[in-house]
């Protein structure tokens, strides 16, 4: 097994292992919550600012999504040519989100404001998830048609292309955050 780890804004893990079947990406999702309490919008904002562990470049964020793409492939060598037989990928998505624990006792207007914000926040974080899934799909599609004169070259070519695809989606994801101001332009702002 060959294994390489790349860390950036989005942590990505990719590896090479033989596999026997082509499949669409398998997606595993994990959600972790941090608890917040409050009976006013300002209390909720202060709780998120204080309790969120999501800190980057001096900023605190309400939510975070990381994705990890693993890919595996197997090949066949025939008539002096090594070609892909199958490519399979897995995407592991981790969400970190606030959880308003005492929302049942809150006023209706505050619940509505929170619901509007939270739906926009979830939509934004799902956008991050989609970058990982789309990266995995592109890896499967593009690697599945590769061939080389020998299998060592094919492995190198496939992993190099996979890394380039991951790098492309990391850049696209950074643009996504910049263009949406981390979801704020789409309503993920509270209060």
Specify if 88 maps to a domain.
yes
pLDDT in tens, 143-180: 999 999 999 999 999 999 999 999 999 999 999 999 99
Asked whether residue 8 is assigned to any structural domain, the reply reads yes
pTM above 0.75, yes or no: yes
Domain count within the chain: 1
Asked, for residue 191, whether it belongs to a domain, the answer is no
In this predicted structure, what is the pLDDT of residue 168? 98
Indicate whether 160 belongs to any domain.
Answer: yes
pLDDT bracket for residue 42 (50, 70, 90) = very high
Report if residue 59 sits inside a domain: yes
For 17-168, list the strands marked E by DSSP: 26-36, 55-56, 59-60, 64-78, 81-100, 147-148
Token couple for 159: 């992993």
Structural domain for 88, as ranges: 2-186
106: three-class secondary structure by DSSP: coil
Rg (CA), the chain: 21
């Amino acid at each position: 097994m060959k294994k390489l780890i790349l860390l950036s804004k989005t942590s990505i893990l990719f590896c090479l292992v033989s596999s026997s079947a082509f499949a669409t990406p398998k997606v595993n999702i994990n959600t972790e919550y941090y608890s917040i309490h409050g009976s006013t919008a300002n209390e909720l904002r202060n709780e998120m600012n204080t309790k969120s562990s999501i800190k980057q470049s001096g900023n605190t964020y309400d939510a975070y999504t990381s994705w990890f793409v693993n890919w595996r492939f197997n090949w066949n060598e025939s008539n002096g040519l090594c070609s892909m037989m199958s490519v399979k990928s897995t995407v592991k998505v981790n969400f970190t989100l606030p959880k308003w624990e005492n929302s049942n006792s809150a006023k209706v207007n505050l619940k509505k404001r929170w619901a509007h914000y939270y739906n926009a926040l979830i939509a934004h974080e799902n956008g991050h998830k989609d970058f990982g899934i789309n990266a995995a799909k592109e890896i499967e599609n593009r690697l599945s048609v590769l061939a080389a004169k020998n299998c060592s070259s094919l492995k190198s070519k496939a992993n190099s292309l996979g890394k380039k695809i991951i790098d492309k989606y990391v850049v696209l994801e950074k643009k996504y955050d910049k263009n949406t101001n981390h979801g704020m332009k789409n309503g993920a702002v509270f209060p």
